[in-house]
Amino acid sequence: MAAPIAGKTVVVVGGSRGIGAEFVRQFAAKGNRVIATARTPAQAAKELEGTKVELTQLDVTSPQSVEQWAAEVQKLAPHIDLLINNAGVYSRRVGFSDVTHDDMLAAFTTNAIGPLMVVQQLHKRGVLGGARPTLVANVTSKVGSIDDNKSGGGYAYRASKTALNIINKSLSIDLAGDNITCTLLHPGYVRTDMTGGAGLIDKEESVRGMIGVLESGVELQGTFHDFAGKDIPW
C-alpha cells in the first residue's frame, strides 16, 4: 500500500487499550472502517468512547475463541484490507533464575501462537487476500531480534517475539501467492500499561510512525521495520 490508508476495512487485534487502541483511533480518524477486538468489549467501549469502531470479543489464547471470532468477522466483512495483529503480553519475571515454565507458555501462547491462529482462521474464512490485497502487520518487538540482544535476560518475552518473527517470515512466503503481505513492526519503547508508563515515546507518535511505514511504499513482505522506518536486523 504505497498510499494513504483510507476508506479501507481495518481489523485491530488487541484494540482495547495502549498501542492497539491508538491504532483504532488513528485509522478511524483517517476514514477507515475499523473492527477491533477486546477480551472485555464493554471496557474497551469506555476507552474508545467517541471513536467509530465495531468491537468484537476475542481471546487469542483460546482456539475456540479465535474460530468463533473469525466466523463473526466473515459475517461483518467479506474482505479485510489491513490486519494489525497487536495483542501481546509481557512477562515481569525476566531473569534466568526466576523465569518459570508458565511464563514461557503464557508469552508464547499470546505473542506467537495467537497471532498465527488469527491469520490462519481468517484465511480459512476467505477474508484475506484473493482478488484484493491484504496487508498483515504483526506487532513484534526489537527485543526479539537476536542481533539486538546485548543484555541477555527477557527469556519469555524475547523468545516469544523471536518466534513471532519467524512465523511472520513463513507467512510471508506461504501467503504471498494469495495476494497477502506479512510484515513486522516494532513500535519503539512506548509509554503504555505494558511498560508501567515508562518509555521513550507516546503511543500517538509510535502509531503515527508505524502507519507511516505501512503507507510509505517500502518493501513490506517479510520485512522488519521500527516505527521510524528503520530496518531492524534479525
Binding ligand NDP (rule: CB under 6 A), the pick from 10, 19, 99, 116 is 19
Assess 190 for contact with ligand NDP (CB under 6 A).
Answer: yes
Assess 66 for contact with ligand NDP (CB under 6 A).
Answer: no
For the bound state, the minimum distance from the C-beta of residue 13 to ligand NDP, rounded and expressed in Å, comes to: 7
Cell 467509530: give the residue.
52
For the bound state, the minimum distance from the C-beta of residue 202 to ligand NDP, rounded and expressed in Å, comes to: 11
The piece of 14-22, 25-33, 92-100, 221-229 that touches ligand NDP (CB under 6 A) is 14-22
State whether residue 184 is helix, strand or coil.
strand
For the bound state, the minimum distance from the C-beta of residue 79 to ligand NDP, rounded and expressed in Å, comes to: 23
Assess 194 for contact with ligand NDP (CB under 6 A).
Answer: yes
The piece of 2-10, 54-62, 71-79, 97-105 that touches ligand NDP (CB under 6 A) is 54-62
CA distance 38 to 30: 21
C-alpha cell at 217: 511504499
C-alpha cell at 65: 475463541
Binding ligand NDP (rule: CB under 6 A), the pick from 30, 39, 79, 169 is 39
- Residues between 109 and 168 with contacts to ligand NDP, criterion CB under 6 A: 110, 139, 141
Quickly list DSSP for 67-102.
HHHHHHHHHH-S-BSEEEE------S--STTT--HH
Q: Chain centroid to CA 93: how far?
A: 23
CB 38 within 8 A of CB 23: no
Assess 16 for contact with ligand NDP (CB under 6 A).
Answer: yes
Assess 87 for contact with ligand NDP (CB under 6 A).
Answer: yes
What are the distances in angstroms from CA 172 to CA 92, 147, 232?
Answer: 31, 21, 17
Q: Residues 65, 66, 67, 73: what is their CA dihedral angle, to the nearest 10 degrees?
A: 110
Nearest to ligand NDP of 39, 133 (CB atom): 39
Residues that bind ligand NDP (CB under 6 A): 14, 16-20, 38-40, 58-61, 86-89, 110, 139, 141, 186-187, 189-190, 192-195, 199
